[in-house]
A = this chain, B = another copy of it.
Amino acid sequence: MAFRFEILKNDITSQARLGRIDTDHGSFSTPAFLPVGTQGTIKSLTPEELVEVNVEAILGNTYHLYLRPGHETIGRLGGLHTFIHWERPILTDSGGYQIFSLGDLRKISEEGVTFQSHLDGSLHFLTPEKVMEIQRTLGSDIAMVLDECISYPSSYEYAKSSTQLTTRWAKRCLQGRYENDPALFAIVQGSVYRDLREASAQDLVQIGFQGYAIGGLSVGEPKSAMRDVLEWTIPFLPESAPRYLMGVGTPEDILEAVLRGIDLFDCVLPTRNARNGALFTRLGKISIKQAQYTEDRRSIDESCVCYTCRHYSRAYLRHLYLSKEILSSRLNTIHNLYYYMDLMNRVREAIRENRLLEFYKSHISNQNGLEIVSLTHFQSK
C-alpha cells in the first residue's frame, strides 16, 4: 500500500512538526488524534458523524476483531473499511496491549504469545507473522508490530529481555511482509529505563520501519515518567518518520508530547469519558450528572459549535445521562470527539504560526487546577 509522510513545517518555539500522511485511503494531517474503534465502530457514532467532527483517521483493534467476527470473515466481506463503512485511513494496533492486559490468561515464548479469549476462554496462539497476516487481511493502512507491552513497575532485567524480544519480533514482522502490505510501524519499549529506551529506539531504527511508536506508557507510571521517556527516545528517532505515542491521552498529555515532537495519538479517553458523562470544555472538564445542571439552559461549552452544543442544553444532557438513554452516549461522544479534533486543529494552526508554546500555556492556564510543567527545553528547537 502507498505510504508517505511529509513534514510541512517545524515550530520554531518547540520540537513540534506539522505534517501529512498519505495512504491509499486518503491523507490526514499531523499531529493527529485517532479515535479508537475497538470492535469495528467508534462506540455510538456512525462514520458520517466522525467525518462531521473532522476525524480523518481511526484506530482498529486487531485483538478484538481477530476474536470477533474474525479477520477472515472481515476479509471475505471486503476488508475492514468496507465492513464498517469507513473510507478514510485505518491504523490497526497489533493486539499486544490487549493481550498483555490479560495477565494470567497469556503466556509468552520466543515464538509468540498464547492467550485465552476474554469472550469464551478459547485458546489462541499469535506470532509476529500471524499478527501481520491479520492486519493484512483486515486491509489496514498502517499496521503495528507485535510487541510486549511491559507492565509498570517492572524490574530492569525483565524489561531488558522483554524489550529485546519485542525488537526480534519487530524484525520478524518486517521479514514476512508482502508487496502490498500496510505500512509498518515498530514500537519502542524499555519501560522507564533510559538505556533500554535508547537501545530499543536505536535497534528499531537500525532495522528500519515506516514509523515509530512509543509504547508501554499510560500503564500506571507517574506523569513525569512519560515526559522522561519521550525526551530519552525521540532524539534517536529519525526526523523523517512519523512518531506515534500509543494510548495517550488527556489534552494536556497530547500537547506536551506534540511539543516534544510526537505526530500521532490514539486513546479511548474522549469516547469513554463521554459515556461516563465527563465532558471537555475549554475551561476544563465537567461532569454532566451534577445537580447544578438540572435547569441549565447553556450548551456544554458556549464557544463550541458541535452538533450537541448547537442543539441541546446541559439540562437535557443531564436528563439523558440520568435516564441511561443511548442518546446520552451519542451526544456526549460527538462533543468530546469534536473537542479533541478541534484541539488538534488548533495545535496544527499554532505550529504553522510558530506559537505552539504560547498556545500550550494559554490552554493550561484556562484549565482549573492544572500547572504548567517545566518548559525551558522547548525554548529553542
Contact = CB atoms under 8 A, between A and B. Distances in A.
Interface of A: 39-41, 43-46, 68-69, 73, 76-78, 83-85, 294-295, 297, 311-313, 315-316, 318-320, 322-323, 325-327, 329-331
Contact of A68 (B78, B316, B323): B323
Nearest to A329: B326
Given A43-B325, A69-B315, A83-B319, 19 more contacts: A39-B320, A41-B320, A43-B327, A44-B326, A44-B327, A46-B330, A46-B331, A68-B322, A68-B323, A69-B294, A69-B318, A76-B295, A77-B297, A77-B316, A83-B316, A84-B316, A85-B311, A85-B316, A326-B326
10 contacts: A39-B320, A43-B327, A46-B327, A68-B323, A69-B319, A77-B297, A77-B313, A83-B319, A85-B316, A326-B326
A39 B77 contact: no
A43 B83 contact: no
Contact of A73 (B46, B76, B295): B295
A77 B315 contact: yes
Interface of A is mostly: loop
Contacts of A40: 316, 319-320, 323
Given A39-B323, A326-B44, A312 B73 contact: no
B327 A73 contact: no
Contacts of A329: 326
Nearest to A83: B316
B73 A41 contact: no
B312 A85 contact: yes
Contacts of A325: 39, 41, 43
Nearest to A73: B295
Contacts of A319: 39-40, 68-69, 83
